[in-house]
Amino acid sequence: MRSPSTFHHVTLSVTDLPRSVDWYERVLGMSKVADREGATWTRALMRSDGGLVISLTVHEGTPGDRFDERRVGLDHLSIACADRVEVEAWERHLDELGVQHGDLVDAGYGHVLTSRDPDGIPIEFFAPVAQ
C-alpha cells in the first residue's frame, strides 16, 4: 500500500455553524455544497473552486471556548498559494473585508500570512520560496 498523497477533506468543530459558514464563504470564497446531521451534530460541507473541502461541524455540548493550537490535535490550516503575489492578494482581500491578520512574513522557506476564523482557528496563506 502506498502512502496518501492528498487529503480528501478536513473537519473542524465550531461553536456557531451559521457564523462559520458565512466566514468561510465570505473570506475564503467557499460554497456550501451539503448539509448533514447526526443524532448529536450538524455539519456543513464547504468546497473551494479548487476542490478543497472543509467540513464545519457543531456538536451537541460543544463548549463555547476558543480554539487553542497548543492542545493536542489541529494546529492550523494552510492554504496553498503559488507565490508571494498571491499571498499579497489574500492580504488585500482580508483588509477589504476588515478581517484581522498578522503581518506577511518572508521566512527562509516561504511567504506566510495568518488570520483566524470566528472560533480562533488559524488559517495560513502560504507560498514556498521560488527556487
pLDDT digits (tens, 9 = 90+) for 64-108: 788 888 887 889 999 999 999 999 999 999 999 999 999 999 998
pLDDT reported for residue 70: 84
Nearest to 43 by CA among 55, 31, 25, 28: 55
Provide the pLDDT confidence category of residue 61 given band limits of 50, 70 and 90: confident
What stretch of H or E contains 88?
helix 84-97
C-alpha to C-alpha distance for 45 and 15, rounded to whole angstroms: 16
Residue ranges of domains in the chain, CATH in brackets: 1-62 (3.10.180.10), 75-131 (3.10.180.10)
What stretch of H or E contains 24?
helix 17-28
pLDDT reported for residue 92: 98
Provide the pLDDT confidence category of residue 46 given band limits of 50, 70 and 90: very high
C-alpha to C-alpha distance for 2 and 45, rounded to whole angstroms: 28
